[in-house]
Amino acid sequence: MPEEIRKNLYRVPVPLPGNPLKELNSYVIKGSDRTLVVDTGFRQEPCRRALFAGLRELGVHPEETDVLLTHLHSDHSGLSAEVATGEGRHIYVGDVDRGLLEKYAQVQRSGGVNQKTLLRRAQGFTQEELSAEGRSNPAVTMAPPVTDNYKSLFDGDVITCGGYRLRCIQVPGHTPGQMCYWLEEEGAMLLGDHVLFDITPNITNWEGVDDSLGNYLDSLRAIRAYDVALPLPGHRGRGVFRARIDDLLAHHEHRLAEALEVVKKYPGNTAYFLAGHMTWKIRANSWEEFPLAQKWFAVGECASHMDYLKRRDLIREEPDGEGLLRYYPC
């Protein structure tokens, strides 16, 4: 059931079965000449049914619909090519994330090896775990297919629809090219996963990015300057914008202190091992009981904290004879 937020601006909840995020907030902006669908859900049937039922209820027609993505993750981008099907329709996405979407789609089509898989092997995952994750990871199985409909957006670009002006703000961190969209006159901002109010965004380390967490913290501080009265997150409910940013900054300060202590206590170990000795809010009695998908997120988040500490000369990273990355206090 679509929720009307403002005139011509709606939220369509899209369920994410089996995923701890529970559902995606897809936003729809209706205009006289076109409609913008902001984020779409996984490329799977329950998401497809919910999204298209919501669009039908709003009287949205595919031949006049464009997609606007906040970032590349498949719970946001998976159905984009099925929504923007009309002739001359576009999937707007930040240029950095567009490059990654196209690269991942080509790797999937060719049967090649994803660079993130190689990175996770160096962080301590076994080959068996990586093979199992590759068969079930929604980033692979529910991602959008190869498409020619992408249209790049850059920081500062403006998109208009339904009487709204959306200014693009690049906020790297959660993904290398995450975008927020600022509706200045309304004091509203489409946040994607940059700021979430009921859960903490996952900040993983990305191939080719030296300091994902540092980028994220810088992006949080930068976006805090905006007078956002109506924050529109990609998941769950809304909250007080600046207060939540302060909470997130404090959270990562605490996590960095914990990560440093774990390295001091267990020097010479991988991110996989170290993640197992950090605290996580998950229903599991031990690291061994973590679902594989949650280990994937946890190790990536641990590694992003290692990168942050490494770049500030608090720890050092050394590869061993098997190519595994091990961490030591400085």
How does DSSP assign 34-89, residue by residue?
A: -EEEE----SSHHHHHHHHHHHHHTT--GGGEEEE-S---HHHHTTHHHHS-STT-
Per-residue DSSP letters for 105-147?
HHHHHHT---HHHHHHHHTT--HHHHHHHHHH-HHHHTS----
Average pLDDT, the chain: 93
Per the structure block, which two tokens stand in for 109?
A: 């089509």
Residue 142 has what pLDDT? 73
Could you tell me if 193 and 219 are in contact, meaning their C-beta atoms sit under 8 angstroms apart? no
Residue 90 has what pLDDT? 96
Q: Taken in order 292, 294, 295, 297, is the CA torsion positive or negative?
A: positive
Per residue of the chain (330 residues), what is the pLDDT tens digit?
A: 899 999 999 999 999 998 889 999 999 999 999 999 999 999 999 999 999 999 999 999 888 999 999 999 999 999 999 999 988 999 999 999 999 988 877 777 666 566 777 888 999 999 888 888 777 666 666 778 778 899 999 999 999 999 999 999 999 999 999 999 999 999 999 999 999 999 999 999 998 999 999 999 999 999 999 999 999 999 999 999 999 999 999 999 999 999 999 999 999 999 999 999 999 988 788 898 898 889 999 999 999 999 999 999 999 999 999 999 999 999
Distance separating the N- and C-terminal Cα atoms of the chain = 54
* CA 108 to each of CA 129, 134, 151, 269, 327: distance values in angstroms, whole numbers, following the listed order: 18, 10, 21, 31, 32
Per the structure block, which two tokens stand in for 69?
A: 């993505």
Residue 95 has what pLDDT? 97
Give 278's contacts (C-beta < 8 A, 6+ positions apart): 255, 258, 259, 262, 298, 302
Map out the domains of the chain with their CATH numbers. 3-113+138-247 (3.60.15.10), 250-329 (1.10.10)
- Torsion, Cα 153 45 65 3, to 10 degrees, reads -90
Residue 191 has what pLDDT? 99
User: What's 212-262 look like in SS3?
Assistant: HHHHHHHHHHHHCCCCCCEEEECCCCCCCHHHHHHHHHHHHHHHHHHHHHH
Q: 30 has which bridge partners? A: 35
State how beta strands 325-329 and 315-319 pair: antiparallel
Could you tell me if 53 and 175 are in contact, meaning their C-beta atoms sit under 8 angstroms apart? no
Q: Specify the residue for token string 């994410």.
A: 16
pTM of the model: 0.95
